[in-house]
Amino acid sequence: MKFEFDIRKSIAVDSSGQITGAVTPMLDLKAITPSDADAYVDDFIAGVASVNASGNSFIIQGPHGHQFTVNVNGQTEWEGSETINNLTSTSMVEISGTLDRTTATFLADSVGILSQARFYAGGLITYVNPPTNTATDFDLYVRSVLPSGTGFQSGEISTIDLTGNEKYFIYWMHNSWTNHFFNAGLLVPGQHVSIGGPFASGAVTVKRVVLRHEGHTGTLVANSVNLNASTFQFNSNGLAGVLFNGPVTVYVTSFTRFGGGLKSLSDLSSNPTNSL
């Protein structure tokens, strides 16, 4: 089921664009079958159970123990220029692609290796030490952990030590030089990251740090839309907004998908008080 809450049509505003407080929920619902173009999984994290490199496939096991076969081909994009030959039975991966639920088979269009040591944790950076220049450690508000039962708890803040030997990646940025855009000198509070590496005696030795997608809700900064630069600014709500401690600049590209009644960046410029 594809489910979208149309915020723009649901929240009433007055003639000046101010929210009145009246809410009439407007939902867009669509039934999705395995053959539909919308039968797509944006983000799925699992451990690798076995690899068939010659057959261009591998088997993963999800958080609840279910196993799925993942098929890759010449169109599959791998993070950091890695390939199926880099996978082992201790790898943790993040995949995107179409899922045939009748056969429990993925056709992956993107594969990222989060860990080669059967341990992964993801969450929000809450503090970086030192705040500028190259970080030696950071605090992570942990939101997800695989596998469970390690003692590394979700919902807690853990200090993550860095040695300088970590590899840095940006999910969906398919090349080997992403560390020029994301590295130990570019860590900031509010980023959604995952870490991977050997876990023992209550601590993880970080081998990989991956900057991951994150979603935010907030309020558009008035008159911040710049159509020439394809940018706008907004104040993020919730914990991430507190960590950012100021407006966030958002870059829009030809690949940006708009929702909630918005079709382009110009729609924001004509609605300067929009909630996002």
40-115 adopts what CATH topology? OB fold (Dihydrolipoamide Acetyltransferase, E2P) (2.40.50)
Average pLDDT of every residue of the chain = 85
pLDDT per position as a tens digit, 106-121 = 999 999 898 898 898 9
Identical fold between 40-115 and 120-211? yes
Confidence band (pLDDT; 50, 70, 90) for 35?
low
What is the reported pLDDT for 29?
78
Q: Where are the alpha helices (DSSP H) in the chain?
A: 7-10, 238-244, 265-269
Tell whether the model's pLDDT for residue 196 goes beyond 80.
Answer: yes
pLDDT per position as a tens digit, 246-265 = 888 899 988 888 877 788 89
CA dist 91 and 86 (Å) reads 9
Q: What is the largest CA-CA distance in the chain?
A: 63
Tell whether the model's pLDDT for residue 133 goes beyond 80.
Answer: yes
Mean pLDDT confidence for 13-20:
79
Going from N- to C-terminal start, the domains of the chain cover 40-115, 120-211, 218-269
What is the reported pLDDT for 165?
92
Instruction: With 0.75 as the threshold, say if the pTM is over it.
Output: no
Residue labelled with tokens 């630069």: 229
120-211 adopts what CATH topology? OB fold (Dihydrolipoamide Acetyltransferase, E2P) (2.40.50)
Spell out the residues 6+ positions from residue 267 whose beta carbon is closer than 8 angstroms to its own.
258, 261
Confidence band (pLDDT; 50, 70, 90) for 38?
low
What is the reported pLDDT for 271?
60
Tell whether the model's pLDDT for residue 92 goes beyond 60.
Answer: yes
